Structure formats: C-alpha cells, structure tokens
Amino acid sequence: MEDYNKIIESLGVRFIKARHIRMQQAIRIKNFYDIENSLLILYDGEVSFGEDGTLAEPGDMLFIPGGKSLNITYGSSESPKAISNEEFLTFRERYFDSRRDPAEIGKLPHSFGLVAFEAKVFDSVNFFTSLDVPPFLIKGEESLAHALKEILAEDFRDEAGRGRIIKIKTEEIVINIIRYILKHRLFVEQLATNSTYFKDPRLIDIFTYIKDNIGGDLSNKVLANVANVSEDYVGQYFKMLTGINPQDYIEYQRMEAAVNLLRTSKKSIRAIGAEVGYKDTAYFCRRFKMMFGIPAGKMRRRESLMNL
C-alpha cells in the first residue's frame, strides 16, 4: 500500500471541463478517442460501450482513460445513428444539448454528467494511460457520484472559491477511482508494474526531459545520454519498464501538447506542429488525424464551440 500512496502523492491533477448533457438522439460512435481521462455518470436513459455493448444503468459511472479509443452508444442501442468520431466532434451540438443550470443536474430525461481531467505522475506521465487499461464501469460508489455532482454544480456557478473547490474535488475523484481499482483488484499486474518503474530515477529523468524538450531532438541517442545507458539499449529499457517504445510515447506526448495549444492559443497549425517537434506540417496533420480521427483545424473549432 505504501507504493500506491507514493504514486498518489506524486500525482498532479488538473481539472479540464465539466458537462451536463441531455442526449437529443441515439448515436453510436465508432472509435471515440480523446486525450483526457473522463468520468461519466448516467442519470437517465441508456449508454453502452465496447465491442459487446456493455450497458450502463442509471447511477453507474463509466471511466474512460485518456488515449483509449472505444465504441460508445448514447441513447437506445436498438436503432442508433452510426457516426464517425470526426462527425461527432464536428457536429456535437446536433446530438448533445449542454445544460448549465445546477438545479437540473440529475433530473433531466436522457441525461448524463461528465468531468474530464488529467492525472500525471511527476507532472510528466499520464497515470491512467500508463496502466493501459480499458474503459470500465464503476458501480455503487455514492461518494464518487456526489463529488462528480459537486464539480458540475460548482463549475456552473460563479462564486468565490469556485476554482479551489473544483481542484479539491477533482483530486478526490482521482483518489476514489484508484481506491475502486484497488478495492476490486482490477489491473493488479499493471499497478504493480507502475509502482516499480516510477521508482526508477533514470526513467523519471527521461520523462522529465521529454516534457521539457517536446519540440526538440528526442531521438534514442539523446534519451540514452539522459538515462546514461547505451543507445542500443535505451529503447529496450524504456519498453521493458513501460510496455511501450519511447518513440510511440513521445508522439503521444507531442499530440497531447498540440491539443493543449489548439485549446489555449491562436497559433497557426504550422506553428503548433513546429512547436511540438514536427518540421513537416503535412506530416503533422496526417498523424494528428490518424490519432484523433479529426483534422487539427476541426479540433480547434470543436474546442471553441465547447467553450461558448
């Protein structure tokens, strides 16, 4: 348990957004994907996910780790409209009615609440992504459901201390998800592996260097010098501890940084690609669409619509 406490203490948690959604029509999204962790609570209606169409019941919560694609159906699974991830992200307002009245939370037909957040170990590694676990249902956790509802209500109000309360409650959500995983002995092997490799200072040095030099040279030769291991060994060493090769990890970090810049800046697509390490804009755009299922320009439009 001490190892898990150390991981929790090292987590940097950041609230991204909260939404209270009324589903306007039944849709099935193939390969939905986002970089954020999200926790969805179903208040009324139907939500199902996965290849086998696992059905959430009202009161259930669906946890989707960042970086995990899944098939998800909002509304009745009998005759939903099948749409691509790109169509959903581009025309989200056709399918979802976003509400901001705290008094309506949990009381509307065909509705759910959602909180999105990041949780990074040493502010570098996406913790839930590093577990490499699939989306899963959380049942019977009233304290977690209550914390989620409080975040929704706080985000919809403009009161003193709003940001601080949301930050505290988001951290509470992250801890309760980890407790649920431990309580139900989910993904035990992955947790044990993480608790081991997060102790390795050489690996942490690599994570930190990648974060601080996301737009620079991150070849295996450079990473080998950072970790003080041979260039031939660094890829094997990284994959042995994390389960992925370093260049795949670097691409994910670069794309995550690109999404953040699309959200928070007015820089051009060319400038954003260059800033996160892509000299060829066309190649950056191809890789971006391959990962997210949507062009970078449409991602920016989606974010501007969501922030209205």
Whether residues 215 and 134 fall in one domain:
no
Asked whether the beta carbons of 63 and 138 are under 8 A apart, the reply is yes
139-149: per-residue pLDDT in tens?
Answer: 999 999 999 99
Categorize the per-residue pLDDT at 301 as very low, low, confident or very high, splitting at 50, 70 and 90: low
What percent of the chain stands above pLDDT 90? 61
Range of the domain at 161: 1-191
Half-sphere CA count of 80, side-chain side, radius 13 A: 23
pLDDT at 131: 81
| pLDDT at site 92 | 87
> Which tokens belong to 24?
């306007």
Strand bridging mode 111-121 / 11-23: antiparallel
The least confident of 44-53, 128-137, 165-174 is 128-137
Q: Is residue 305 part of a domain?
A: no
Residue 192 has pLDDT above 50, yes or no: yes
* Phi and psi angles of residue 268, each rounded to the nearest 5 degrees, phi first: -70, 160
**307 domain residue, yes or no:** no
- Both 240 and 104 in one domain: the answer is no
Which phi and psi (to 5°) does residue 74 adopt?
-105, 125
On whether both 248 and 156 belong to a single domain, the answer is no
Q: Are residues 104 and 138 in the same domain?
A: yes
Q: What is the mean pLDDT of residues 282-298?
A: 89
- Can you tell me the mean pLDDT for 240-265? 88
**Whether 183 and 208 share a structural domain:** no
- Report the CATH number that the domain containing residue 1 is assigned in CATH: 2.60.120
Question: What total number of domains does the chain contain?
Answer: 2
What is the reported pTM? 0.83
Nearest by Cα to 178 from 136, 240, 124, 125:
136
Q: Express each pLDDT in 165-183 by its tens digit.
A: 999 999 999 999 999 998 9
User: Can you tell me the mean pLDDT for 68-77?
Assistant: 91
